[in-house]
Structure 1
């Protein structure tokens, strides 16, 4: 089913969530500014520490609208509402990047033309392969190249990037040159961006209708929470499944608190309903926003809070260090990251998505290296990726039941609220951020 946002005036938009990822200082926020026409409550480095340090420390959200592309005409949409998720590029903020990547339909990977593929660029590729099936590269800062040699420089870097992508899930991805902020961050406002119109046209040609549905239990990933005087507390985030309407009762599971939806907005426009894939602000009353930073909100009684769980796992091929039983990892599920101890074992793929808790499984001292690329390893669990999916159903039974799979019993140091069949990423975030290695160890 198509994703449809509906406001009080009945306007129907195709909501398309685009993540902007890349190495620190590659110009991600400048690109988001150049593209955006509407800013949300958490966009463009509003964090005071972000402004002081000149880098993005948190997820930023903004949006712009564009006409429905020719290949989607006749679908009943009046426009395409593109939500941009500006992810930080600093290595120490990788857990924030992971959280942001899991709520997007399409990745824009920003590369500084003067630097090429850098450490966090590669890590963003790893995260992108795990969480999304569609990517485009933006070659930024073209204004910093010598004008007489610019075209040759762009061509050379495009070929180099395309060669790098050949060994990933994104082989053949388009590379689009731009100058999002000519002259740098201190340039006067009169300096306009170059190549943005072409970028929007290319992005428009890649827009698809994500596989979404208003049915099923409501689950909402909250990334910001703040008070509005005289109104109540607003939780902003992305609907992961189901739908929500005015006056619905919702639950904040980790607090065991239920609240009634007083009002909702999508980028400052009042709406009566929101469904899977929509970015929305939900206002409730008599709730202290200091109790929530990032969390899951859901239909009452739907989401479990777990102290342990079993996950089907694959080792990230770029991670060259062993993943051993008994080791502790940073486990990121949505926006939440907790420490967890892993016990690895093997067994057949589950039948009809049901794991047999009564069976015996061979113990593994160490998680074996993946025999395939990330792209191939996840193909069976991402059957509908060609059509797109904001929150993917994990089709773990799409491969022969006789094929061996690897699992982990994850014991969390503190309880975690999670959506069934969520993507989880195990990382070693305590490693030196200056060492050129992949922090991501495994994924489920």
Structure 2
């Protein structure tokens, strides 16, 4: 690998100061900036798009995206910070775009972002998107294998309570029941946590006029069991790690940051009527960076035989292709790289292939584990991550039915051989729709 050169010591502070300045401008800019850019992009909503299909990304309205805020992530600001600012400043579509396209958010960040987004949509009177956002948070709470019992239960409780306010009783009950299962069977919950969950459930069930469940929750809260396990379940599949980039890629990235910052600053200063030269500068910076990144990733992938490193490289490819996919959908609020918009199907196909490679590598890693019990757990873990990526819309065209069947088989195997796990994933039909749900081994025996 080419030796990474030491970057200019002044470059980091300059970029940071620039980003902070841009954010300050964004936070004080008047609503007129957004309204102007919204009108400029209004035609996009009705334009036929071959990528729109029965997936979460179809819910995104690009004409509602404020580019002055959305572009800050291309300028170096963290996606999590942009989500927080977008929700705080009533730009929910910016937050939704990040949550649907960004694969590097943690499960906790993604679920928390969807909960915040649901509350924002509900406040604005957009019930449909509020319900959708609660469903996405619930899907993460169910499928993400790396969430702590306390976090998972709280996600279900918040989702259920939000849906009660939206008068979505069936869906609210579904999520509250998941919290109930965790309260009783969560292996690592201490008695105090179980009591708090059950007391909260008692109030929520009363709000739904489910008096029997409310009484049962209150009764169980009086003497809840302690933890069944001392520590949280250890994940067997490793998280990907950032890979070192060449100095030329770092320089290209810095130029892209600068171009994005200049475009953002001009969008703010000029009320959305930005000269085309600034858009073209960012587009060219992205194309130049792409021409360096893709060959580098392919070369590094071929050079290594280590599965863990191949996973790191593949995840880096997915991250970059996800940015390209978002740009091809104009999901930063502007047409920035028209060339990629014309290649939208090809980019989506490339992204799908990289996800296929990623989970094939995880499968190879799993079967190399020394014990059969570990292989079974790693299989279930991988399937949950893969299905979750597909359900969130980040993994286009994932093999939904095949993976669902495989996950149910993996669940059956774990219940039979490792019942001490106590909580498993299954499928149930809610409102005539298959939804992933938590079950306990005791439920399975009934």
* Structure of higher CA gyration radius: 2
Relative to its length, the structure with more strand (as a share) is 1
Same-fold call, TM cutoff 0.5:
no
> Smaller-chain TM-score range?
under 0.3
TM-score of the superposition, structure 1-length normalised?
Answer: 0.26
Q: Which has the higher contact order (CA 8 A, sep 6+)?
A: 2
